[in-house]
Amino acid sequence: MPQNQQARECDYCEAEQFNLSACSGYRDAWYCGPGCQKAHWKFHRLHCLHPSKLTSADRLAIAANADLLPNENDTQVLRDYGFARAQIPRSENYLCGLFQGIIRYGEVDPREIHRQRLAGTLIEYIKDYYEKIPIQNRGGYYPWFLKNQHLLGPSKFIDMSSAVLNDASIQHTWSFIGSASNSLIHIKSQIQGWHEEKKQAFRFVQFLLHLGFQLSPDLPKWVRFGFCGCKSRDEEANLWDSYIKLAKAVPFEKFYTAYNSSSLPNLFSANGLTITNPFILDVLGGTPHMNKSVWNLKQFALGDYQKLKPSVMVDYGFMNCGDPESQETESVIHSLRQVYNRMLTAPNANPLKLHEACLQGKLFQYARRVTQVDAKFAPLMKNVYP
């Protein structure tokens, strides 16, 4: 570490000396010696290391220390630490405050946060941390967290999409659909000029060609291509296999045209792959231009990182869950979401009957017929219909 002859303050112990040494990687950090530098490393490393070496916990810590929300484009941080599941902006602020209490004021090493998350013990770690603090000094974020632990719960699905939608996949799919071989730049330029629906169909074929890929409810294609109408994971797998057979049997232009004209069921039938499930047929009869809000409700109820769509809020009562500024609203939304999850995953689930009940303004009455629902949900399940 180079010596400095000017009087400076040590970045760790704050002692002012003439012979401080600068960090070799980050020249604006000065220390009395190796001891202070080592002690300060858990904080200093956030600015000294190359960004590619930082974990999502490190990037969370940088935001917390700066009194900022995580970068809205940093999907990994948003998913790893609950922000992607929050339904109201107030909840994002509370999550930020919760982690600030641990990282900024508790001076916990972000590497420990990272380890706890990977071990699946982050929720218990947060509880242990705050329970050691006298109750009168815990602030308001921790009591709120106790009612919203689902935000940091484990993911039910593995999102493989970012690993699949790479340059090699684009070239492979381009070749598969029979297009002339071109440079990657030319292929991307061609695709960029397509209508959005054609891009959706192409990306879906990319997924189909990736061995072992599993479509999760968090992907738009789970609704657009009818998987939301399946009654089980086995039925989803069967539909997936049918799509693979169809993609191999017909030209891409024919597949895209059928998708864009809401006539995929006819194309399946013409190729000996008849679909009989009425729910799948209902979805494919409207996609990609329209669909019943019940399918978006199912996506929200089953997915890991779905945000409430306006149609779902209005049709299924989430608009009744409380003031967005209230500490209670996030947990109320989650409890209503769980009710719909039970209704839509039950062996006798019928999304189309739920849709009819929605249009009749009888959601609670229908819910009572298909599952156990507490009376407290009656006012929540009111909507603007009939």
CA angle 202-277-259, nearest 5°? 25
136 and 200 part of one domain: no
List pLDDT tens digits, range 170-216. 999 999 998 787 899 999 999 999 999 999 999 999 999 999 999 99
- pLDDT at residue 249 above 90? yes
Q: How far apart are CA 183 and CA 166, in angstroms?
A: 15
User: pLDDT over 70 for what percent of the chain?
Assistant: 98
Q: Positive or negative, the Cα torsion across 265, 270, 275, 276?
A: positive
> Is the pTM of the predicted complex or chain greater than 0.85?
yes
Strands of the chain (E only): list them. 8-9, 16-17, 21-22, 30-31
Is residue 105 within 8 Å of residue 65, measured between CB atoms? no
Number of domains in the chain: 4
1 and 83 part of one domain: no
Domain edge (last residue) among 96, 120, 152? 152
Domain membership flag for residue 383 = no
List pLDDT tens digits, range 20-67. 778 766 667 877 877 787 777 778 788 878 899 999 999 999 999 999
Greatest Cα pair distance in the chain: 84
Domain edge (last residue) among 242, 267, 284? 284
Domain that holds residue 256: 161-284
Domain membership flag for residue 165 = yes
Q: Tell me phi and psi for residue 113, to 5 degrees.
A: -60, -45
169 and 255 part of one domain: yes
Q: How far apart are CA 290 and CA 284, in angstroms?
A: 10
307 and 234 part of one domain: no
Band of pLDDT at residue 4, cut at 50, 70 and 90: very low
Is residue 10 within 8 Å of residue 17, measured between CB atoms? yes
Domain membership flag for residue 386 = no
CA angle 123-129-135, nearest 5°? 110
Supply the pLDDT for residue 1. 46
User: What rounded mean pLDDT belongs to the chain?
Assistant: 94
Domain edge (last residue) among 245, 265, 284? 284
Structure tokens at 375: 């009376």
315 and 227 part of one domain: no
List pLDDT tens digits, range 134-162. 999 999 999 999 999 999 999 999 888 88
- Is residue 354 classed exposed, middle or buried when 0-12, 13-18 and 19+ CB atoms within 10 A define those classes? buried
Helix (H) or strand (E) holding 34: helix 34-48
Is residue 229 within 8 Å of residue 283, measured between CB atoms? yes
Is residue 284 within 8 Å of residue 265, measured between CB atoms? yes
165 and 278 part of one domain: yes
Domain membership flag for residue 385 = no
171 and 266 part of one domain: yes
Q: How far apart are CA 209 and CA 169, in angstroms?
A: 8
165 and 279 part of one domain: yes
202 and 241 part of one domain: yes
Domain membership flag for residue 100 = yes
Q: For residue 374, which of 349, 345, 347, 342 has the smallest C-alpha distance?
A: 342
- pLDDT at residue 280 above 70? yes
330 and 371 part of one domain: yes
197 and 257 part of one domain: yes
Q: How far apart are CA 332 and CA 277, in angstroms?
A: 33
367 and 308 part of one domain: yes
List pLDDT tens digits, range 341-364. 999 999 999 999 999 999 999 999
3-state secondary structure of 3: strand
CA of 181: how far to CAs of 9, 170, 178, in Å? Answer: 62, 12, 9
Supply the pLDDT for residue 322. 96
Q: For residue 88, which of 365, 374, 326 has the smallest C-alpha distance?
A: 326
Domain membership flag for residue 384 = no
Structure tokens at 234: 């086995």
Q: Positive or negative, the Cα torsion across 138, 140, 141, 142?
A: positive
3-state secondary structure of 286: coil
CA of 365: how far to CAs of 257, 316, 344, in Å? Answer: 41, 13, 15
